[in-house]
Amino acid sequence: QVQLQESGPGLVKPSETLSLTCTVSGGSINRYYWSWIRQPPGKGLEWIGNIYYLGSTKYNPSLKSRVTISVDTSKNLFSLRLSSVTAADTAVYYCARATATGYTLEWRGYFDYWGQGTLVTVSS
Amino acid sequence: DIQMTQSPSSLSASVGDRVTITCRASQSISTYLNWYQQKPGKAPKLLIYAASTLQSGVPSRFSGSGSGTDFTLTISSLQPEDFITYYCQQSYSTPKTFGQGTKVEIK
């Protein structure tokens, strides 16, 4: 059974960089896409971006200038960095496996395994 | 961006009721539509993918249909554990977007 676990600081100061890691266990990170998704308290879900195990990425244009997603296949994990954070970035951050449906140039599929989520608060 | 609009935003129902939630996309997304349920304080759980395919382990009382811009999630007979929030999500184009959610409450 694939399991994902987010880790990282729960409190980040405004203007600094949020950094989270998602460790994958019970399965290999290889041959899959992986995602970060966030949810502000009491609100809906927002897709941040995807990464393929070979390193190619796709980001939400609304965050693209501030987001970097990277992968370390040797450690079976992938990471999120979000720079210049503000209070609007306060959210529960989830990592998820993004399984593709078919073979298309751009990832299309579904999020079938999720981490438990980690709350990141942006505050001084 | 493709906007996903769910209706209703909330509904009240009783155990055993048949419930239908609608999700409308602002442009055609073929069948690249997924449904999730989310319990308070927990991660979303995949129910249905590709508009109508039931995820492994999900009870058969859940079903999905639709293509293009209009989709539905149907729960044939509500169980006590189903009174939570449901989201649709499109993966047709970037950014991948979710509906605003539908909260199913006990009448």
Query: Testing the interface with A: which of B94, B102, B103 to mutate, by most A Cβ within 10 A?
Result: B94
Looking at chain B, the whole-number percentage of residues with pLDDT higher than 70 is 100
Can you tell me the distance from the alpha carbon of A6 to that of B24, in angstroms, rounded to the nearest whole number?
A: 32
Tokens of A118: 């980690």
pLDDT in tens, A13-68: 999 999 999 999 999 999 999 999 999 999 999 999 999 999 999 999 999 999 99
C-alpha angle A29/A31/A32, rounded to 5°? Answer: 65
What confidence score (pLDDT) does residue B3 get?
98
Across the range B29-43, mean pLDDT stands at 97
What confidence score (pLDDT) does residue B30 get?
95
pLDDT in tens, A60-105: 999 999 999 999 999 999 999 999 999 999 999 999 999 998 777 7
What confidence score (pLDDT) does residue A102 get?
75
Q: Which residues of A touch B46 (CB under 8 A)?
A: 110-112
Specify the length of chain A in residues: 124
- The residue of chain B nearest to residue A45, with distances taken between CA atoms, is B98
Mean of per-residue pLDDT scores for chain B = 97
Q: How far is the CA of A112 from the CAs of A38, A50, B11, in angstroms?
A: 16, 14, 26
Max intra-chain CA distance, chain B: 38
What confidence score (pLDDT) does residue A103 get?
75
pLDDT in tens, B63-94: 999 999 999 999 999 999 999 999 999 999 99
What confidence score (pLDDT) does residue B33 get?
98
Inter-chain CB proximity B87 and A94 less than 8 Å:
no
Q: Name the band, by pLDDT with cuts 50, 70 and 90, for residue A120.
A: very high
Inter-chain CB proximity B91 and A117 less than 8 Å:
no
Residues within 8 A of B (CB atoms), A 29-68 only: 44-47, 50, 58, 60-62
| Shortest Cα distance, chain B CAs vs residue A49, angstroms | 8
Can you tell me the distance from the alpha carbon of A36 to that of A24, in angstroms, rounded to the nearest whole number?
A: 13
C-alpha angle A119/A122/B3, rounded to 5°? Answer: 70
